[in-house]
Chains A and B, each alone.
Chain A
Amino acid sequence: MTYLSEGSDWNFELLADYDKAIADIAHNKYGLDTYPNQIEVISSEQMMDAYSSVGMPVGYNHWSFGKQFVEVEGRYRRGQMGLAYEIVINSDPCIAYLMEENSITMQALVIAHACYGHNSFFKGNYLFKTWTDASSIIDYLVFARNYIADCEQRHGVTAVEETLDSCHALMNYGVDRYKRPSPISAVEERKRQREREDILQKQVSELWRTFPQLQPAARTREAATRFPAEPQENLLYFLEKNAPLLQPWQREIIRIVRKMAQYFYPQRQTKVMNEGWACLWHYTLLNDLYDAGKVTDGFMLEFLQNHSQVVYQPPFSAPFYSGMNPYALGFNMFQDIRRICENPDDEDREWFPEMAGSDWLQTVKFAMESFKDESFIQQFLSPRLIRHFKFFQIMDDDRNDYVEVSAIHNETGYKKVRDALAEQYNLSIQEPNIQIVSANLHGDRALTLRHQRSDGRPLDEHSATEVLRHLHRLWKFDVHLESVENGTVTESYSMPPVTEPITVM
């Protein structure tokens, strides 16, 4: 038995040795399918840079990233937070950053976690497969950065910044939830972008041409015809294609922000699974290394201490509780799936008849590939885990002056808790459902949006007004937002504000 290393220092040969040992187990024993890895060693300052550009290795310039940076920098310098051990980027090859300050144990942990855990998740999960194109993202980021820098040269920093501000405000509504975009290469993207500039402006002008004699079709077009024909959930896409007065470069910037939103959308939907999967593998792979006698007891102790910190879930009553820890939930769920496969008890056989006793590796891979957080919890959260976490559900109804514990970790509560927790990770419920219902083509060109309320949850008034201001900046004509519940308008906002209530179309 020879240890790969003793002591806590690392060097590049050691990193390569550990990577090789871990890769060997990951690929040959467990058959994880990964992109090639590009492991980059960086300093803590560079880690702060990476942090504040939301993990994009190449980002365009914007003040909000600067704000993020001064915040991270300040908190780090005052010792209020440590930096993440790793950042990993969904690209091909998969880029993972290691911090130079870390010990070899931590580096090995990060290699196992990021380069084999996250990496295989990016490659295997259906959302990532459908929505992102790992091979072209870096090229696209470079294109976006250069394009925006170019716009700043041509149109001034302030004009570009304003457009970006407005786009960022609507970023969560720049996602195609159902339609899959086809990936294209960066070269093609540049070519298309030039063509788009020309064509787009023509089309928009066509749509808004209002001289009847020049446009015979306008007579025949019914005033009552709704445009758009169907409500549009992708606000940014609608603006990019239809906002009347935008410059071609502004449309392109909207498109860039939209693409970013789309790229990050799968990550937002798979926090629990992604982290859980990565934790499962760093735990499994490093334990295998230990079993094979390749690492020391000291290594293992350091690893386990860090691991247990990462997957610790503080109870709701803890002063530092801030919601569910996705690492804890995800890791425990994947471990639990393995347990159900390998050592099922009667309860498991009743709840998961097909899973109990099956091949665990097949099952966790299936779970990783075919679900997102919401459905993953719905499918795989076992009663045993609900008891382990001591979950309880609170119903907060503003019609009552109390809150109620509606379910706890008992026989009658398991299903309710599981449903409620799954719901909590459903983005389409957590984010207000807002769609564009009409753009008045023939009258005042007003744009109307509808917020479909669920469970009586209102919009936050202040931020809604602010976002409308941004929307108005892009649309440049009146913008109305109505909040609708059961067919009746309960709230309405307008930009610029109007005094009398608007009539619903």
Chain B
Amino acid sequence: MSYIIDRRLNDKRKSTVNRQRFLRRYRSHIREAVNDAVNRRSIQDMEQGERISIPQKDLSEPIFHHGPGGQRSIVHPGNKEFNQGDRFKRPEGGGGQGSGEGDASDQGEGQDEFAFEIDKQEFLNFLFEDLELPNLVKRHLEGAQVFKTRHGGIVSQGMPAKINIVRSMRQASMRRRALTAATRRRIRDMKEERETLLQQDQSPQRQARLQELDELIARLERRVERIPYLDTVDLRFNHHIKEPVPVSRAVMFCIMDVSGSMNQDMKDLAKRFFLLLYLFLERNYDQIEVVFIRHHTSAKEVTEEEFFYSRETGGTIVSSALKLTRDIINERYPVDQWNIYAAQASDGDNWNDDSPACAKMIEEELLPKMQYFSYVEVMPRAHQALWDHYETIMARHPGAFSIAQIDEPGEIYPVFRQLFKKRMEEA
């Protein structure tokens, strides 16, 4: 006796919980590997899974077993030249060769690395673990964007694929009962009459009446049978309603100084920082737009390609970029619909006269509209006026504004974490 069952449609991810338990247990190893990867990877492939290696000894599941030594005999197959009594040097690895029992892992603790892959999502989870976006998320209802279908009750019109069988049958049953109730009552009465007639002595009148009754009953029963079992009016359909889903949207302004003093290395540092911010925002918002603004003495909105790779020379006026940012916000990104983030990277050079203007502009015109403004200085030398002015802003708006300095690629990620780490005191 055999039963053959198709289980292919059953849940495939039976091991998910166990896998997560495993990741949870070795989170410190994994986080280390993720941190390494961030610093090692090129910018383009940041958004990928990662191969994680954990020293085998750290995840051993110990059991009692014999160590090397003592007298042991092992039987092997495939003798070619040995004869009884042959002696030779103990092969390297000694008793570790296993005693023929299948479980090689029981014998001898290998120092191999245990390697496995985590996928993109897990990678990013570990990357941004404990990080939090400052400030609230605005959700906005946007027409014709994303819809969710929701169960919307039962209706009498619809397409065949959505027939609700139980409700339709119930409806049919009700209709049949209602339409036949009177007839069935008459049949019942007549049947009773017929029974009583049958009980009594037979006479011609009674015989005739019986005959009549039989005919009537048969006719009425045919009438009951003619009531359709299932009629189109019985059909009921599941109804689904499309509802717009509020999406959270963010725009990210990348502002970079491209004056002559910024070299390609510095731009790379800045780029990595922008990228991390982008990935991070992407995890938190459904839709992201990025605006690239570069500036020297004047600012310009450019494409990504231009932003990172073209060079210009000249002096530096930071406020030009801030002005442009403000204009773009006013023009395209209504504050009630967008979460606005800005990241500025610069080597800190600015015309001295311009720095107070920048501070004023940020504090009065940009910060009220923004969720967060971060500034990184990619320069290993003494700070200039801009930094000092920004510091005062940071002191006044600790939740929405922050600055940090990055000297080399290895520092980007720690600085990033520093800027976005969960603020316990706020929570």
Contacts and interface: CB of A to CB of B under 8 A. Distances in A.
B75 A457 contact: no
Interface in B123-141: none
Contacts of A316: 76-79
Contacts of A457: 66-67, 69-72
Contacts of A401: 89-90
A197 interface: no
Given A390-B78, A424-B99, A459-B66, A52 B71 contact: no
B99 to A, nearest CB: 6
Contacts of A157: 21
Contacts of A431: 64-65
B21 A413 contact: no
Given A53-B14, A391-B79, A407 B84 contact: yes
A405 B65 contact: no
Interface string B50-85: 000000000111111111111111111111101111
Given A408-B82, A459-B66, A417 B75 contact: yes
B77 A420 contact: no
Contacts of B68: 398, 458
Interface string A24-63: 0000000000001111111101101100110000000111
B226 interface: no
A345 interface: no
A477 B117 CA distance: 40
Contacts of A420: 73-75
| From A169, A323, A467, residue with most partner B Cβ within 10 Å | A323
A424 B75 contact: yes
Contact of B70 (A65, A165, A458): A458
A53 B15 CA distance: 8
Interface in B101-142: 101-102, 104, 109, 114-117
A102 interface: no
A12 B7 CA distance: 12
A318 interface: yes
| From B13, B60, B78, residue with most partner A Cβ within 10 Å | B78
B185 interface: no
A456 B59 contact: no
B95 interface: yes
Given A66-B21, A69-B18, A161-B21, A467 B76 contact: no
A417 B100 CA distance: 13
B174 to A, nearest CB: 40
A26 B1 CA distance: 12
Contacts of A456: 69-71
B15 A49 contact: yes
A205 interface: no
A451 to B, nearest CB: 8
A347 interface: no
Nearest to A413: B84
B90 A396 contact: yes
Nearest to A16: B4
B100 A424 contact: yes
Contact of A393 (B63, B73, B101): B73
B5 interface: yes
Dominant secondary structure at the A interface: mixed
Size range of the interface on B?
A: 35 or more
B335 interface: no
Interface in B9-25: 10, 12-15, 17-25
Nearest to A45: B12
A412 B13 CA distance: 56
A448 interface: no
A173 interface: yes
A393 B22 contact: no
Interface string A384-422: 000001111111111101111111111011000100110
B145 interface: no
A86 interface: no
Contacts of A421: 75
Contacts of B79: 316, 390-392, 408-409
Given A404-B85, A405-B82, A172 B63 contact: yes
A169 B61 contact: yes
A316 B100 CA distance: 11
Contacts of B104: 322-323
A12 B73 contact: no
A402 B72 contact: no
Contacts of B409: none
Interface string A432-460: 10100000000000000001010111111
B76 A394 contact: yes
A12 B71 CA distance: 55
B86 interface: yes
B21 A459 contact: no
Given A66-B23, A323-B100, A467 B62 contact: yes
A65 to B, nearest CB: 4
A244 interface: no
A19 interface: yes
Nearest to A399: B71
A67 interface: yes
B80 to A, nearest CB: 7
B67 A458 contact: yes
B64 A391 contact: no
B331 to A, nearest CB: 49
A234 B85 CA distance: 41
Given A37-B3, A70-B116, A466-B62, A406 B73 contact: yes
Contacts of B94: 396
B71 A396 contact: yes
B67 A461 contact: yes
B2 interface: yes
Contact of A67 (B59, B74, B78): B59
B116 A71 contact: yes
Contacts of A404: 85-87
B89 to A, nearest CB: 6
Given A115-B2, A396-B73, A406-B73, A64 B67 contact: no
Interface of A: 12, 15-16, 19-20, 23, 36-43, 45-46, 48-49, 52-53, 61-67, 69-71, 73-74, 77, 93, 97, 100, 115, 157, 161, 165, 168-173, 271, 313-318, 321-324, 326, 389-399, 401-410, 412-413, 417, 420-421, 423-425, 430-432, 434, 451, 453, 455-464, 466-467, 470
Given A23-B2, A46-B10, A64-B22, 7 more contacts: A16-B2, A70-B117, A323-B100, A323-B104, A396-B90, A457-B70, A460-B109
17 contacts: A19-B4, A40-B6, A45-B12, A65-B15, A70-B19, A315-B77, A391-B77, A392-B82, A402-B88, A406-B84, A421-B75, A424-B100, A457-B66, A457-B69, A459-B65, A461-B67, A466-B60
